[in-house]
Amino acid sequence: SEKYTVAFDTPALIRTQDGAQEQSKDKLLKYVITPDAIKEFMELNRKWYKEPVDEDGNAGDWEFDKTVTEKNESFLLEAAVEEAAKDNMKIVDYDDEFCKGKGGLVYGVVVNLTRKWITVAFRGTIGSTDLMADRDFRLDHESLFDSEDDIFVSGGKPGTHMGFTTYLCDEKKGDQDGRKCLDRILSCVNEEFKSNPDVVGKDFDLYVTGHSLGGGLANLFAFKAAQLKANNDESVKYLPKKITALTYASPCVGNDDYNKEFQYLEKKGNLRHVRIANEQDVVPTNNIIPPASLAIKGNTKLYTQNGVNLFLHADKELTVDYRATKSSGSQLKIPKSLDFHMVTEYYKRVELLANKKVY
């Protein structure tokens, strides 16, 4: 493949890990990133990018523009950044330091001072490394349940998706203390609730979110944070009592006994999950059928969904249900199912006028 040398204008606007300030062991970034800084970086560097737009006028991911053409008109994505700038929002950490184009665990931690929440956001699938994680449905019975105190419902054997769990529980490359990715992120978030003067004592909420693979990671991360909170663990001492996951197109991430643990934490008030899924999106399903099942490790029949489900239809009001696990065969529509999985399709359905009264 061709390689190019790109000289971005003022990269320090969004790449703050290279600043002079001493680096926290819990963060990659040394300074916060604001929407205004992102917008300025976009304006200064439009010539390096082009923005594909689909037939409905929705913007896709930016692509490298080999022609390096100056552009005076704003990209559609810049309008979204302007909208975000209406809130007093700051990215306090964003870590993709050891991830390449084929994937890897990527997350951000955002503080919204206007709406009084902190959000952990996980990126979805982008390449072959992520796809290898996606397909590993073997059950991990240990990583999130490595002591008796981690299991609240007796008699069960909770297990979680091996691929997603490994992403979270692998050692974080470059971490000073050799911690798991999960533990480092939790430490970052706990410190924000403990020490950020804009947050302390102001009843901020904690949300965890993501699309597809990112949704699966959000489910597991929220669960582990709630599990630790229920056990009064020091690592989450300053987190609020309730952790809320808001996921889009999340695959199933655990078996029935994992769901029992999940429901225990729901009933205790430590955990909430709003799971948004599109009708005819096959990714948030179980019992995956051929030919896709031929690439799967493990038994997808053992998996189930968690939380409140907002099931989005293409042209009518959404359906609200609880758990509502669906089989892949019931949602498969060749060749459109992957189109229904895209973020742009989720955005379109979320914004349907018929759904506004439900929100």
| Residue 134: other Cβ atoms inside 10 A | 21
What is the sign of the dihedral through the CA atoms of 6, 11, 15 and 21?
A: positive
Alpha helices in the chain (DSSP H): 35-44, 76-84, 128-134, 162-169, 181-195, 213-230, 256-268, 328-331, 343-350, 353-356
- Give the distance between the most distant pair of CA atoms in the chain: 64
pTM equals 0.95
Alpha carbon distance 225, 242 (integer Å): 9
β-pairing, 205-211 vs 243-248, is: parallel
pLDDT digits (tens, 9 = 90+) for 115-147: 999 999 999 999 999 999 999 999 999 999 999
3-state SS class at 40: helix
**Average pLDDT taken over every residue of the chain:** 94
Dihedral of CA atoms 133, 207, 83, 48 in degrees, nearest 10, equals -30
- Residue type at 8 in one-letter notation: F
Residue 165's contacts (CB-CB under 8 Å, 6 or more residues apart) are 140, 143, 144, 220
User: 2 pLDDT exceeds 70?
Assistant: yes
In DSSP terms, 103 is beta-bridged to: 100
| Residue 239: other Cβ atoms inside 10 A | 23
pLDDT digits (tens, 9 = 90+) for 294-306: 999 999 999 999 9
- Residue type at 62 in one-letter notation: W
Q: What is the mean pLDDT of residues 43-51?
A: 94
Q: What are the structure tokens assigned to 60, written together?
A: 């896709």
Alpha carbon distance 149, 143 (integer Å): 13
User: 156 pLDDT exceeds 90?
Assistant: yes
Residue 63's contacts (CB-CB under 8 Å, 6 or more residues apart) are 49, 50, 51, 52
CB 312 within 8 A of CB 331: no
Alpha carbon distance 262, 285 (integer Å): 18
3-state SS class at 323: coil
Chain centroid to CA 180: how far? Answer: 17
Closest CA to 292 of 341, 343, 221, 255: 341
pLDDT band at 186 (very low <50, low <70, confident <90, very high): very high
Q: What is the mean pLDDT of residues 201-230?
A: 98
| Residue 195: other Cβ atoms inside 10 A | 10
Q: What is the mean pLDDT of residues 346-358?
A: 93
Q: Which carries the bigger pLDDT value, residue 200 or residue 56?
A: 200
Radius of gyration, alpha carbons of the chain: 21
pLDDT digits (tens, 9 = 90+) for 228-241: 999 999 999 999 99
**What pLDDT sits at residue 1?**
60
**What pLDDT sits at residue 128?**
94
Q: Which carries the bigger pLDDT value, residue 331 or residue 84?
A: 331
Alpha carbon distance 168, 243 (integer Å): 17
Q: Which carries the bigger pLDDT value, residue 83 or residue 204?
A: 204
Alpha carbon distance 238, 188 (integer Å): 11
Alpha carbon distance 208, 248 (integer Å): 11
pLDDT band at 102 (very low <50, low <70, confident <90, very high): confident
**What pLDDT sits at residue 208?**
98
Q: pLDDT exceeding 70 applies to what percent of the chain? A: 99
pLDDT band at 32 (very low <50, low <70, confident <90, very high): very high
Side-chain-side CA neighbours of 322 within 13 Å: the count stands at: 5
Backbone phi and psi for residue 224, each to the nearest 5 degrees, phi listed first = -65, -40
CB 256 within 8 A of CB 285: no
Alpha carbon distance 10, 48 (integer Å): 13
pLDDT digits (tens, 9 = 90+) for 48-99: 999 988 777 777 678 999 999 999 989 988 888 888 889 999 999 999 987 8
Q: Which carries the bigger pLDDT value, residue 3 or residue 180?
A: 180
What is the sign of the dihedral through the CA atoms of 34, 39, 42 and 44?
A: negative
Residue 202's contacts (CB-CB under 8 Å, 6 or more residues apart) are 116
